[in-house]
Structure 1
Amino acid sequence: MPDLITCSLDQGLLTLTFNRPDKLNALNSAMYSALDRHLRAASEDPAVEVILLTGGTACFSAGNDLRDFLDTPPRDLDSPVFRMMRTVLTLDKPLLAAVNGPAIGIGCTLLVHCDQVLVSRSAKLRMPFAPLGVCPEFGSSLLLPRLLGHQRAARLLLANELLSGEQALAWGLANELHDDGEQCLAAAVALARRLQAMPQQALRISKRLLKDGQRRELEETVRREGELFIQCLASDEARAALQALV
């Protein structure tokens, strides 16, 4: 069986690629565990300077695997998905994302924690929590209103708005827009190399300073969202919404 997340280290740049193309890179418990493991190892490995997340040139991630939600939903805050979230929150090395095609649900909220997000014109960002009978996760209820303003955050988290790559750039969810997947990936690598040219200790300290002002509030929000998300998943309306889609 191929790795669900492939890992490639090239001269200090660690590229983590979601590798479940038959399921549009939908994330399941095994993938959360693998991503958590890779990020923890990268944090401690002096050979890793910058981390790049991608799903390849066709699809970033369709979000959480819906069948996984039904069969093995997270039961508590020690579930793989929540461990992965906590690892991302403490990561002090630059985290980049190259987004092509769908970035749905947690495949979208993950981007808010990246230091740079590059998208192609094929990108499609959506956070369909309310239609699935669940609530926002990964700190999105705190970070999105601050980043976008309340009304735009509500369009994403309440009204299930779908953003194109162009709209993601205009709204501030992405830093760069590229014509296709190959260009997007190449530009992400070029940006990573620019960051690698910086003094690495200063780079990590700078990232910590950027994050520290809201770290405690964000950790508490992620915890509270997680508790409510678990409750929502157990509800009749969530199970009905999920069953209708699997």
Structure 2
Amino acid sequence: SLMQHIHQALENGILRLSFNRPERKNAITTAMYEALAQALDQANSDPAVRVVLLTGQPGVFTSGNDIQDFLNNPPSDTQSPVFRFLHALSHLEKPLIAVVDGLAVGVGTTLLLHCDLVYATPEARFQLPFVNLGLVPEAASSFLLPKVAGYQRAAEMLLLGEVFTAEQALAAGMLNGILPSNQLLEHALGVAHKLAEKPAQALRLTKQLLKQPYLSQIQQTMRAEGVQFIRQLSSPEAREAFSAFIEKRKPDFSKLG
């Protein structure tokens, strides 16, 4: 079913959405993007949902796109599930909290830039490996990351595509706090409860006002990234990167200019 790998639970006004595919490090499939997009869209119109909490499993938030699924069902246009998810994410009107324990790769890191509050464990590891795969950033991260982290730090993360730590993410303004894994969820739930008890309309309007100045830039950037992303997917660079990934060898881009 659509919901198989995205677990949903609504309790005390808190809608908890969990990546639930631990056997594949919570790698996200087309069906999972579809499920998330639907859940986020529905959250907007459901008065019972006061706040949304996004979690993974202990040790892994998400390892990003499921590469095999991605190659089998590449996004062909902006109506593809991955872009529907990104649209829903950037248009969520309720407060959104993310809880990162362990691995957050690719979209697992870029989606955090749309969250209102983000908490992580000291062991959390982030990576934006788009360039290394012959691809470009998505989720409007090429606009949002420099805004949050400053240009040079964003360039370092996106151009080199190397793993960075929770401490580095905190210093870059991407996190609200770092908590030991045995306190992480409890802390985030406590914050979610505080938000769930606040006036819903005032929260929604405040979030709207915070996001308003950037909304058109976010949409514009997402579209521009989407066009390049889809184009790059069929490039010789991406073909070499993905072949190397699947064949577990080092890619060679020296012949490709």
Give how far 1:108 is off.
0.5
| Greater RCO (Cα-Cα under 8 Å, separation 6 or more) | 1
CA distance in 1, matches of 2:223, 2:86: 10
Classify the secondary structure of the residue corresponding to 2:52: strand
CA distance in 2, matches of 1:186, 1:153: 31
**2:94 pairs with 1:109:** no
Give how far 1:88 is off.
1.1
The match for 1:221 is: 221
Give how far 1:166 is off.
1.8
Give how far 1:41 is off.
1.2
**2:16 pairs with 1:22:** no
Give how far 1:136 is off.
0.6
**2:186 pairs with 1:189:** no
TM-score w.r.t. length of structure 2: 0.93
CA distance in 2, matches of 1:239, 1:193: 46
The match for 1:136 is: 137
CA distance in 1, matches of 2:239, 2:55: 30
- Residues 141-160 of structure 1 correspond to what in structure 2 (within 5 A)? 141-160=142-161
Aligned residues: 245
- The superposition leaves residues 38-69 of structure 1 with CA deviations (integer Å, 9 ceiling, x where unpaired) of 11111111100000001022210000011122
- The superposition leaves residues 67-96 of structure 1 with CA deviations (integer Å, 9 ceiling, x where unpaired) of 122111101111000011111111110000
TM-score w.r.t. length of structure 1: 0.97
Please provide the CA RMSD for this pair: 1.1
Give how far 1:161 is off.
2.8
Give how far 1:211 is off.
0.3
CA distance in 2, matches of 1:147, 1:24: 27
CA distance in 2, matches of 1:186, 1:237: 43
**2:63 pairs with 1:54:** no
CA distance in 2, matches of 1:190, 1:222: 33
- Residues 117-132 of structure 1 correspond to what in structure 2 (within 5 A)? 117-132=118-133
The answer for unaligned runs of 5 or more in structure 1 is: none
